[in-house]
Amino acid sequence: MNTDFLSPIDEKVYAHSVLQSPNSLGNNILIHTTQNGFPDLQDVSVALLGVKEDRRSEGNLGCGQDLSKIRQNFYKLFPGDWSLKVADIGNIEKGNTIEDTYFAVSEVVYSLVKENIVVVIIGGGQDVTYANYRAYDKLEQTINLSVVDSHFDLGTLEEELNSQTYLSKIIMEEPNNLFNYSNIGYQTYFNSQEEINLLQNLYFDAYRLGEVKNLSLVEPILRDADIVSVDIGSVRQSDAPANKNANPNGFYGEELCAIARYAGISDKVSSFGIYEYNDSFDDNNQTSSLIAQAIWYFVEGVNFRAKDYPYCCKKNYEKFSVILEDDDPINFYKSDKSGRWWMEINLITDNKYQRHALIPCAYQDYIKATEQKIPERWYKAQQKLT
């Protein structure tokens, strides 16, 4: 891994962590510091990465400039009953050009994911999601992207890449490795009907804020994701004021933490980012504390991954086949280990989408199939393969 892209954390932050309880996270994780250098990542499961880039954050200039409060609040938390090893590998500073920053993010994320280290990105505008996505080009696999945001951030292909247009670049630009996109928590009045219709026509998933207030619906969505991107502006301003684009409606703080834990327990999620944090508006460290706690819940989820994705071996799963009128049966699999459900889509042998042959679902999807109603996520996945 090329560590030249990474700078150590602020020495004041490290000094603050040393003063905390010896049982706190700051004294029990590996930290990239000036004094100790870059940590040995052998056996590390989760790596925290800061990105100090704000040049393409629309209306939120200053995000990512100072990540000290997030780290301080994270370091002073106490670890759960974890068996995994966590490292804070420092920051990617602003490059001479923003393309330099994107390149550095892609290279670092690629190096970590290739070594099966889950990446947690903090700081920067949400356009950094594009650089995160590009890290998977070398892995030669199709990607599922889940975004927690009140906006779709589509823009147009002709517009400059920024925090409000990055999705169109991910969808349209080559190489195109995107299999599925899911938006969690969009607010209809922030998105045009044309954009809503476009996502439907592409067989992507979009869930309104009111719909996913039932958080049990979120777990299967995130269980199928490779990349999870969170705009902190998706949390209501009263809970997360440190965003110049904050608005009065959104998720509550505890809901963000639950979403982060769902992302963590997903066997597939390999990178998780929380973007658009702006230290200038962080009254009483409220937003940095919330982000720190969300990261804690994500790590907690990673620690308790069931590793029951039935991709290679299905012998430890109960199989249920539902015969639909004038159609092939839909096979459902229930894990004996976790009780979670999957449904199988029809693929040609050696198809490049083989890793998407099993779609996470809920028990309600199985019940819907028994009532001769095709589950929507199964239908959309099948359509993308025809």
**∠ CA(131), CA(212), CA(81), 5° rounding?**
70
Range(s) of the chain covered by CATH 3.40.800.10: 3-303
pLDDT in tens, the chain (386 residues): 889 999 999 999 999 998 999 999 999 999 999 999 999 999 999 999 999 999 999 999 999 899 999 999 999 999 999 999 999 999 999 999 999 999 999 999 999 999 999 999 999 999 999 999 999 999 988 999 999 999 999 998 889 999 999 999 999 999 999 999 999 999 999 999 999 999 999 999 999 999 999 999 999 999 999 999 999 999 999 999 999 999 999 999 999 999 999 999 999 999 999 999 999 999 899 999 999 999 999 999 999 999 887 655 666 789 999 998 877 789 999 998 889 999 998 765 556 677 778 899 999 999 999 999 999 999 998 888 76
Q: Which two tokens stand for residue 302?
A: 């990673």
To the question of domain 3-303 being in CATH 3.40.800.10, the answer is yes
Three-state SS string over the chain comes to CCHHHEECCCHHHHHHHHCCCCCCHHHCCEECECCCECCCCCCEEEEEEEECCCCCCCCCCCCCCCCHHHHHHHHCCCCCCCCCEEEEEEEECCCCCHHHHHHHHHHHHHHHHHCCCEEEEECCCCCHHHHHHHCCHHHCCCEEEEEECCCCCCCCCCCCCCCCCHHHHHHHCCCCCEEEEEEEEECHHHCCHHHHHHHHHCCCEEEECCHHHCHHHHHHHHHCCCEEEEEHHHECCCCCCCCCCCCCCCECHHHHHHHHHHHHHCCCCCEEEEECCCHHHCHHHHHHHHHHHHHHHHHHHHHCCCCCCCCCCCCCEEEEEECCCCCCCEEEEEECCCCCEEEECCCCCCCCCHHHCEEEECHHHHHHHHCCCCCHHHHHHHHHCC
